[in-house]
A and B are shown apart, each in its own frame.
Chain A
């Protein structure tokens, strides 16, 4: 009897060990990318992870997803993907997840996909643009270079193109946020769908009913259960939402909050069958960096498995048009300061911000008449760093030199800005009161401003709770979103 019991116990240990070995080996197999490189890493034991949601209709080999899946996803057809280029390689979801070492609350920052930024480690002539395009632009140029060198293998081109694209995306986000990125995970459209399906669907909550034929989102208000394809429509809808893309960002945050809530509620970490299902999804649809010990991370990330996570959306300064594209204008210095102060709040109470003698209250239009692509956005960002409100930003007809005009009650601001460009401020009654308009000439450069900016975070930066980017979305439950 005792011998039989010992044999059964030994068999059980051996079986559990075998299953664990299989799971751990599979998890190690997920980390296939070396794109993270030798960039700076977190030093305090915390982990920063960049979650990349790729709006690609192709698999890792560059082959279109099967038609049946594309239909489920409302994502065109395989023919459209191949011949008409439906869906590109936009990183429509970029979320930096900060998991502290002490098991405390995790913090996530969503980066609006249309933020106009300087790229880092991007391949090719385009070195700034929407942050979502750093991936696709770099991939395309990398593939062109490889083809020029004689590489013809489709899978090799896809692999190398994506690796370069991941590096550009990780480096660009690292530069924009000013924090180290320790690991990343990339998931494609099918991955979202498979994840939600494997979990048995997710619960979400909508503040108002929505109907959108582009994404297939057709949901009533209130809390509801969505299957895989409905969940994908939920995170993809942007038409018909008050704040468009920014509301979609909140949908993505709500989806992730629901997933972590479900993992906790259903005890999925203890359910071998569903864990295997999740592993299968991860192997098929997720790419992670090779240096990531996922099981070790799971131990650290108790806050995530407990739903203790807060989602923020990074602020934008306004909307603009650059190269005939609608973009979000951002102030990198302000973003870095906000991220820094959210992760490591200043000990002292913030001092009141300097008013700038009234000059900073003016709204500044910046129009590029000099032909340097992207300069208007950079100038607008620098001026907003100096406390000015960003107005209209875009291109205009060519101008020989930089001009600064100001409307009623904004003479001080006009003169201050004109001084930055070595120009003369001219009153212009046709401009609205409180507005300064800068038209950049060919010799114009980004002015040095006195604001906090640069790489050194200011002491008063807090993430906004109002405006288009909205307040924080709390994990640990089912948050209601627009």
Chain B
């Protein structure tokens, strides 16, 4: 079983790997990052120690924000000059990850509830 820090590191590692692929292959946050986020979140919430399962809950959006900023600034920096450019770029990056982020957060919440319930039952 992982510590909360270990679960966070696992999620961050898998998500950043997806960000790397998207940065160089997709010129910005895309599908690979989204899939890695969901997979990483599921692994993290499944492997973290049952006592700390709730701590994984806020991790998916935060992991995505960091990874998307990385993928965007590396792979899609063409339009980021100036306030308007950066704001519109950030909007694009955030919007492209909404479905993955919401899915990951809901799945993490569902798994967390199941694990917490089964642990208490024992």
In whole angstroms, how far apart are the Cα atoms of A9 and B61 in the complex?
A: 8
Judge whether A16 and B94 touch: CB under 8 Å. Answer: yes
Best-surrounded residue of A14, A17, A25 (most CB of chain B within 10 A): A17
A233 to chain B, nearest CB (A): 31
A124 to chain B, nearest CB (A): 42
Within A22-38, which residues are at the interface with B (CB < 8 Å)?
23-25
In whole angstroms, how far apart are the Cα atoms of A416 and B74 in the complex?
A: 65
B64 to chain A, nearest CB (A): 7
- Partner-contacting stretch, out of A298-306, A435-443, A456-464, A469-477: A298-306
Q: Determine the interface band of chain A, counting residues with CB < 8 A from chain B.
A: 20 to 34
Which residues of A lie under 8 Å from residue B82 when comparing CB positions?
A: 302
A148 contacts the other chain (Cβ, under 8 Å)? Answer: no
In whole angstroms, how far apart are the Cα atoms of A312 and B62 in the complex?
A: 49
Beyond A9-B58, A14-B61, is A270–B98 a contact (Cβ under 8 Å)? no
A9, closest chain B residue (CB): B62
Give the number of chain B interface residues (Cβ < 8 Å): 29
Within B2-58, which residues are at the interface with A (CB < 8 Å)?
55, 57-58
Judge whether B61 and A10 touch: CB under 8 Å. Answer: yes
Interface flags, B71-108, vs A, CB<8A=1, else 0:
00000001111101101110110110111011001000
Judge whether B99 and A296 touch: CB under 8 Å. Answer: no
Beyond A16-B94, A20-B95, is A10–B84 a contact (Cβ under 8 Å)? no
Beyond A6-B58, A13-B62, is A300–B79 a contact (Cβ under 8 Å)? yes
Select one of A3, A13, A298 contacting B61, CB under 8 A: A13
Judge whether B62 and A6 touch: CB under 8 Å. Answer: yes
Judge whether A298 and B84 touch: CB under 8 Å. Answer: yes
Which residues of B lie under 8 Å from residue A302 when comparing CB positions?
A: 81-82, 84-85
A269 contacts the other chain (Cβ, under 8 Å)? Answer: yes
Select one of B59, B79, B87 contacting A296, CB under 8 A: B79
A304, closest chain B residue (CB): B84
A214 contacts the other chain (Cβ, under 8 Å)? Answer: no
A20, closest chain B residue (CB): B95
Interface flags, A345-389, vs B, CB<8A=1, else 0:
000000000000000000000000000000000000000000000
Which residues of B lie under 8 Å from residue A270 when comparing CB positions?
A: 87
A209 contacts the other chain (Cβ, under 8 Å)? Answer: no
A434 contacts the other chain (Cβ, under 8 Å)? Answer: no
Which residues of B lie under 8 Å from residue A420 when comparing CB positions?
A: none
In whole angstroms, how far apart are the Cα atoms of A296 and B61 in the complex?
A: 24
B65 contacts the other chain (Cβ, under 8 Å)? Answer: yes
In whole angstroms, how far apart are the Cα atoms of A3 and B92 in the complex?
A: 28
Which residues of A lie under 8 Å from residue B80 when comparing CB positions?
A: 299
In whole angstroms, how far apart are the Cα atoms of A296 and B101 in the complex?
A: 22
B68 to chain A, nearest CB (A): 9
Which residues of A lie under 8 Å from residue B65 when comparing CB positions?
A: 13
Binding site for A on B (CB under 8 A): 55, 57-62, 64-65, 78-82, 84-85, 87-89, 91-92, 94-95, 97-99, 101-102, 105
5 nearest A-B residue pairs (beta carbon): A299-B79, A10-B58, A20-B95, A21-B98, A13-B61
